[in-house]
Amino acid sequence: MTKKASTPALRFKGFTYTWEQRRLGEVLSLIKDGTHGTHQDVEDGPLLLSAKNIKHGEIRWDNTDRRIAQADYEKIHSTFSLENGDILLTIVGSIGEVAILRNSDGITFQRSVAFLRPNKELKSEFLYAEVLSEHFQKELDNRKSTSAQPGIYLGDLGEIPFTFPKDIAEQKQIGTYFRNLDHLITLHQRKYDKLTNMKKSMLEKMFPKNGANVPEIRFKGFTDAWEQRKLSSLCDKFTDGDWIEAKDQSNSGVRLIQTGNVGVAEYLDKPNNKKWVSNDTFEALHCEEVFEGDILISRLPEPAGRACIVPNLGTKMITAVDCTIVRVSKNTSNEFLLQYLSSQNYFDEVNTCLAGGTRQRISRSNLANFDVPMPTKKSEQVAIGSFFTNLDRLITLHQRELEKLKNLKKACLEKMFV
């Protein structure tokens, strides 16, 4: 292959030499896939993993994954062995997931995973990062077979153009940067997962289970039994939004909140997809105004029945006909009711009431008849609502930070490689 020199759009200070292009196979000392054989499962033995175990830069496995006999493992590795620092690349099914093998003891892979071992010209962490880059992922996509299960042949993999700095110091700096970025992403992902699991668990425990009249966990000072109330009986307003056609919309005026703005217990702002109707249209169609603090329930998937509290958008608001407007009475906490409307018990009940064609929906009349478990004291409702609202804020904080880090990584992968 003719060597071609080039440089990335973004690089660290102090490095000015042009990068060199080779075929991937020319900078590897090993390019091989996992076992093609059939192996009997055993209860205790080396792990036999596959492409499904490599996700987001990590090798993930648990007690449900396959184990094989030691004799089978030794037969697989009779001519080669895996080493710490080898790059694992998925090449069958879900193509392009990549991870660095940090501990090679007692682990092997099926043929859906390729092993890439860099030669002395290349550092493992740089190779890992470049395989994730946009240009390399496009090369993989262009070379995959179009059979029932997509795959890429090792020969085609080795032919992919690979551009890299000859200076090992630059490779190390790039590799370290992405390793640290991945570490931050993993930390925020774990915090986010922990908080979302905590919320799910607390929703189950802080609302009574079916047939019970008190929850498993409650705040001190509250001992009264809860009661069942029809959803519509908790509201001063329980009605659908307005039928707004494309011809009714304008570029300014009254904000139209759509079903896409309704998330599970959160309002989803979509600045590039704002819809409006004029004040004249608002009056002519006798639209139902929506106010800050109202709850909107989307009767359409996904999932049907999800709800959010309307924030202050700084303008007059209406909503679409497939959203039910819930304006709670003075004896009901909107934050408490919102959390019930995000519980698994509620969604299970919604699923029993869905009707329609390809996009099943729940009717407002069915929603109105839902039994809501309610503390008799509003102060307990407020305490529960505030607890989950604060938890939601923490979840949103980590979610946004996670999105920022992922976007930063994506941008750097595009600009720091050729």
> Is residue 72, in this structure, part of any structural domain at all?
yes
10 found inside a domain: no
Residue 7 in domain:
no
Q: Give residue 132's pLDDT.
A: 95
Choose one of 116, 148, 164: the last residue of a domain: 164
Instruction: Give the pLDDT confidence of 368-406 residue by residue, as tens digits.
Output: 999 999 999 999 999 999 999 999 999 999 999 999 999
> Are residues 257 and 150 part of one domain?
no
Q: Do 215 and 139 reside in the same domain of the chain?
A: no
Residue 228, C-beta contacts closer than 8 angstroms, at least 6 positions apart: 371, 372, 373, 374
One domain for residues 96 and 154: yes
Q: Please report whether residue 390 resides in a domain.
A: yes
CATH number of the domain to which 363 belongs: 3.90.220.20
One domain for residues 264 and 330: yes
* Last residue of one domain, picked from the residues 138, 164, 190: 164
Query: Are 125 and 104 within one domain?
Result: yes
The domain that holds 414 is classified in CATH as 1.10.287.1120
Q: How do 275-277 and 249-250 pair as beta strands? A: antiparallel
Do 134 and 102 sit in the same domain of this protein? yes
Q: What is the mean pLDDT of residues 4-8?
A: 74
Q: Examine the domain organization and report whether 70 and 139 are in the same domain.
A: yes
Residue 68 belongs to what domain range? 20-164
List, for residues 180-222, the tens digit of each pLDDT value. Answer: 999 999 999 999 999 999 999 999 999 998 888 999 999 999 9
* E-only strand ranges, 234-363: 235-240, 249-250, 254-257, 275-277, 295-298, 307-309, 317-319, 323-328
- Number of neighbouring beta carbons within 10 Å of residue 303: 12
Same domain, 232 and 357: yes
* Judgement on whether residues 206 and 235 belong to the same structural domain of the protein: no
- Which residue, of 130, 164, 198, is where some domain finishes? 164
The stretch 293-318 carries a mean pLDDT of 94
User: Does residue 2 register a pLDDT over 90?
Assistant: no
Q: Which tokens belong to 98?
A: 């990549």
Number of domains in the chain: 3
143 in any annotated domain: yes
Same domain, yes or no, for 251 and 325? yes
Question: Span 52-74, mean pLDDT?
Answer: 94
* Per-residue pLDDT at 169: 97
User: Is residue 322 domain-resident?
Assistant: yes
Do 43 and 134 meet the contact criterion of CB atoms below 8 Å apart?
no
The verdict on residue 115 lying in a domain is yes
Q: At 409, give phi and psi (nearest 5°).
A: -60, -45
Residue 310 CA to residue 315 CA, distance in Å, equals 12
Is 358 a domain residue? Answer: yes
Q: Which two tokens stand for residue 416?
A: 């720091």
